[in-house]
Structure 1
Amino acid sequence: MDTKNIFTRGARFFLEGLLIFILGTKAQDFLNNYFEIITVVVTLLVVVLYLISRNTKVVFCLRKVWITIRLKIEDLFAKKLSPLGVFRNYLVGGLALGLGFMLLFAQLAKALINNELKIFDQIVTDAVTLINSPLTTQIMKVITTMGSWVIMISLALVAWFFLLKMKKHFWDSIMVITALAGSWLMNELLKWIFHRSRPDIARLVTATGYSFPSGHAMVSFAFYGMLAYLMWINLKTRGLKYLFTFIFLFLVLSIGISRIYLGVHYPSDVLAGFAAGGFWLVGCILGLQAIRYYKGDI
């Protein structure tokens, strides 16, 4: 199978999975009747957007409208939150992101309770297994260890020592531990609440306990996300900021995919783990920025 076919099938699986997640059990009939129409419409939209992008006058007008709207919104928030200074940006952005993560997790939890995730999980799992090979299996086993306790605790201790002893950043070092330990405790609580069994298939690695949400996905999102954020606010070189952010983001996504590939989690477990981990990460970042604001560091 050539690269083009793999990409096309992967895109189709992703779109079908997204529709099933949104529509639930009604998605199958919808896909059978309307999927080809949707494909044509999406293609036309891409073409239209491309043509618009080539028309500089249209782009200029749209940009002008967007700037006007953005300035009005910024002015509104500035009047309401001006006493908070720069921290208001973190507060507004954090609350919006936190709400988004919470709503995503709530939607997944509702779908799980209503038994509406089966088709979504199957389609995404099929897409992931397209890359199945002995070499891929070995790579996935290595990647998944980056979300293990041995690795993350070791990295947390190194980060804690560096931030506290070398840089004298006490609260930064505390938040590294908080992101790791707090996300783990929350994950254990959520698994106990939902009691979802792991996939009943041949697993390529050993895994115990409940499945929803994925602990590897949730804890790695919170922990590596916090490391990326601390590097972003402490590094001086813009290139290094983007580099480490990309590395950590790629690592977290790879860990999530590895859990599906190795047969120890459903795709919805991983997505729920990212949502819950993102929620906890936002809370940790807001807490850290609140402390920095109180101390006058921002």
Structure 2
Amino acid sequence: MGAVHLQFKNHKNATCFRRVWTKSCQKIEYFYKTRISPFGNFGNYLIGGLVLGLGFMFIFAKLAGEMLENELKLFDQIVLNTISLISSPLITRLMKGLTQMGSPATMIFLALIVWFYLSKIKKHFWDSNMVITALAGSWFMNELLKWAFHRNRPEIVRLVKATGYSFPSGHAMVSFAFYGMLAYLMWINLDNRNLRYFFTFLFLFLVFAIGISRIYLGVHYASDVLAGFAAGGFWLVGCILGLQAIRYYKSNDSRGWK
């Protein structure tokens, strides 16, 4: 009798779970059709952007909390020790070159070229301005975050000069937002599929390499770089959503939307 009662109870619980699951799915479907679907492709961008943005925010908050509790020392030390194993004069020159790709001078120079090309030649006014927004906004936000957390840089031999606080990495954060925006603009504006994949991979690899270079050169902990990627990703998502919102409303205006 006990086994029969347990089986009946499990069946009843399973039935109840399926009923709740079905109702939840129906509510989600109704919400999507009534609230998201009317916005067309922008609605999909909005949902995806919110999910990604919250994900980046969670990662940053997790790293920041563990950093403040001094729970990242072992992780940072392991990464530093591992990267030091590949140290050589050739690798050092390579890393110094890569880190320059994330320097303010380099990114400002590239941003001005891209801005001029998009705004003056291609006449993509909002695309060009969003490149500047991605760069300047992430830069400004990084300064605020560094001031808020006041984490000192690693006290090891540094192969390049670096000043200011360490968390999150400015090179990692700003390069993620800036090169990520360039990759996105390539993706939506290039017709050639192979070129889209090539430039996306190229920019993602460059961002990752810049982050590694900051650890290798002794100016950042690994957690600084990861936090920089997360914060930069959050800002990038915001910029992309902003650009898509502008495109959506401009397209509706052109069709007589008021």
Please name the residue that 2:119 is paired with.
164
**Paired position in structure 2 for 1:221:** 176
1:156-235, aligned counterparts within 5 Å? Answer: 156-235=111-190
2: distance between equivalents of 1:74 and 1:146?
45
Residue 131 of structure 1 aligns to a residue whose secondary structure is coil
> Does residue 32 of structure 2 align to residue 77 of structure 1?
yes
Distance in 2 (alpha carbons) for counterparts of 1:200 and 1:113: 18
| Counterpart in the other structure of 1:259 | 214
How far 1:78 moved relative to its partner? Answer: 3.3
Distance 2:107 2:177 in 1: 11
User: Which residue in 1 is equivalent to 2:223?
Assistant: 268
Residues 90-109 of structure 1: pairs in structure 2 closer than 5 A = 90-109=45-64
CA distance in 2, matches of 1:256, 1:78: 41
1:224 Cα deviation after fit: 0.3
Relative to the length of structure 1, the TM-score reads: 0.74
Distance 1:78 1:146 in 2: 44
Cα deviations by residue, 1:6-48 (Å, 9 ceiling, x for unpaired) = xxxxxxxxxxxxxxxxxxxxxxxxxxxxxxxxxxxxxxxxxxx
Instruction: For 1:187 and 1:194, locate their aligned partners in 2 and report how far apart those are by CA, in whole Å.
Output: 11
Please give the alpha-carbon distance, in whole angstroms, between the structure 1 residues aligned to 2:206 and 2:183: 11
Q: Deviation digits for residues 132-180 of structure 1, max 9, x if unmatched?
A: 1111011000000000011100000000000000100000011000000
User: Match for residue 121 of structure 1?
Assistant: 76
Equivalence for 2:16: none
Aligned residue runs from structure 1 range 245-256, under 5 A: 245-256=200-211
Distance 1:260 1:148 in 2: 15
Match of 1:146 among 101, 104, 129: 101
1:112 aligns with 2:72: no
Separation (CA, whole Å) in 2 of partners of 1:224 and 1:199: 26
Mapped partners of 2:28, 2:193: distance in 1: 28
RMSD: 1.8
Whichever residue aligns with residue 70 of structure 2, its letter is N
Q: Could you list the runs of 5+ residues in structure 2 that have no partner in the other structure?
A: 1-24
- 2:3 is matched with none
> Quick one: which amino acid aligns to residue 129 of structure 1?
S
Structure 1 counterpart SS, 2:156: coil
Aligned mates of 2:188, 2:37 — CA distance in 1: 22
- What TM-score does the superposition give when structure 2 sets the normalisation length? 0.85
Q: Deviations over 1:97-148 (max 9, x none)?
A: 0000000000011001111110010111122222111110110000000000
Indicate which of 231, 237, 251 corresponds to 1:282: 237
Instruction: Give the 4+ runs in structure 1 shifted more than 2 A.
Output: 72-80
Distance 1:74 1:206, change over 3 A: farther
Tell me how many residue pairs correspond in the alignment: 229
Q: Distance in 2 between matches of 1:75 and 1:168?
A: 39
When Rg is computed on C-alpha atoms for both structures, the one with the higher figure is: 2
Look up the equivalent residue of 1:275 and give its one-letter code: A
After TM superposition, give the deviation of residue 74 of structure 1 in Å: 6.7
**Aligned partners of 2:189, 2:129: CA distance in 1, in Å?**
15
Identity %: 73
Provide the rounded CA distance (Å) in 1 between the counterparts of 2:60 and 2:176: 14
Q: Which residue in 1 is equivalent to 2:17?
A: none
Q: Secondary structure of 1:296's match?
A: helix
Question: Residue 85 of structure 2 aligns to a residue in which SS?
Answer: helix
In 1: Cα distance, 2:232 partner to 2:30 partner:
32
Q: Deviation of residue 221 (structure 1)?
A: 0.2
Q: Which runs of 5+ in 1 are unaligned?
A: 1-69
